A = this chain, B = another copy of it.
Amino acid sequence: MLVVMQAQATEEQVRAVCKKIEAHGLRPHSIPGAQRTAIGITGNQGLVEIGLEEMPGVQEVIQVSKPYKLVSRDVKQDNTVIRFSAPKGGEIGIGGTELAIIAGPCSVESREQAFAIAECVHRAGVRFFRAGAYKPRTSPYSFQGLGLEGLQILAEIRERYGLKIVTEAIDHESLDLVEEHADVIQIGARNMQNFSLLKRAGRAKKPVLLKRGIAATLEEFLMAAEYVMSEGNYNIILCERGVRTFVDHSRNTLDLSVVPAVQRLSHLPIIVDPSHGTGQRTKVTPLSRAAIAVGADGLIVEVHNDPDRALSDGPQSLYPDQFEELMSELRQIASVLHRSIPPQSAQSQRPQTAAVR
């Protein structure tokens, strides 16, 4: 174990940490450096229990044998910001001050549906459009997505609205096509440890949105990102989307504590998916607020103009007016954390295509 002190830590603080280590029967080895002091520890493990992380002057407590490298803040201290050229010049970033709200339907069902929803999320201030063309479904008999046709519709939406396209790839073949047509390649929760696909994504030229597996530990999640990075693609957005527990009042249990945990260990941005994380529309709004309040770098949220007739995931999709209201709340909460969400776009009359609730 290694305790890394802050650059400005005082000698007294270093001594206090050493003393606490000794008080627990362990041996501290002070290692002064050019910029900051590190303290090696020998003797045993119960360090979380000792609470060194919380002492004044301490920057981080590192398990020396940490298996991930490239994803780690040890390698890169500053936050990674994934950058995209903005439609009218300038840049959009994920991981910077501006929060990334990625919105759209679960699946592209038709050109009309996709455009209607794109219209309304664009109007609400959204810059990233999500919609699946390839759907991993539990049953082989369920709707599996429009495939290439879906991707082409999404590409049209980018042209029309300047929205960046986020869509899932489920195998090598679809990844080739997604890489060609979309702006961000999504790897779904079920494929988080499909290492063959991760490596392929690591050779792609587009950023990767990597969802946490339904039972993935933090370490496994970061190691999946390491797979992508180890092939050369450094542009990864992590995404918490709920884990599987005994809890039966929501489809999954959204683990918001993973957000500060990731931010401590890794420089990569992390966003939250409250739609899959809860599975119920009535919980999407409160958990979206919570995700921004906990410090996530953005959301990926399902919005549908007619959820009751959606081909997939209707019950967890927001109505357009619910989404607009949510965006307004999120802007206020973001500002408490000194972050921002783009305003509604100019022509902000209510969408004509959206269902009235």
Among A112-120, A123-131, A146-154, A243-251, the stretch that binds chain B is A243-251
Q: Is A176 an interface residue (CB 8 A)?
A: no
Enumerate A175-208 residues with CB–CB distance to B below 8 Å: 190-191, 193-197, 199
1/0 per residue A149-180: CB within 8 Å of B?
00000000000000000000011110000000
Q: Which residues of B contact A308 (CB under 8 A)?
A: 16, 20, 51, 54-56
- How many copies the complex holds: the figure is 4
A155 CB → nearest B CB, Å:
23
A271 at interface by CB-CB < 8 Å: no
A196-B170 in contact (CB<8A): yes
Count A interface residues, CB 8 Å. Answer: 95
- In the assembled complex, A42 has its CB within 8 A of some CB on chain B: yes
> Shortest Cβ distance from A13 into chain B, in angstroms?
10
For A190, give its contact among B193, B250, B293 (CB under 8 Å).
B193
> Does A346 reach chain B (CB closer than 8 Å)?
no
Cα A20 to Cα B314 with chains together (Å): 13
Contact B172 A281 (CB under 8 A): no
A307 at the interface (CB under 8 A from B): yes
A311 within 8 Å of B (CB atoms): no
Contacts of A46 in B (CB 8 A): 65
Q: Is the CB of B172 within 8 A of A172?
A: yes
Q: Does A275 count as interface, using CB distance less than 8 angstroms?
A: no
* In the complex, A83 has a CB within 8 A of chain B: no
Could you say which residues of chain B place their CB within 8 Å of the CB of A56? 308, 355-357
A289 within 8 A of B: yes
Contacting pair A217 B246 (CB below 8 A):
yes
Complex Cα distance, B135 from A196, in Å, reads 11
Residue pair A247, B333 in contact (C-beta under 8 Å): no
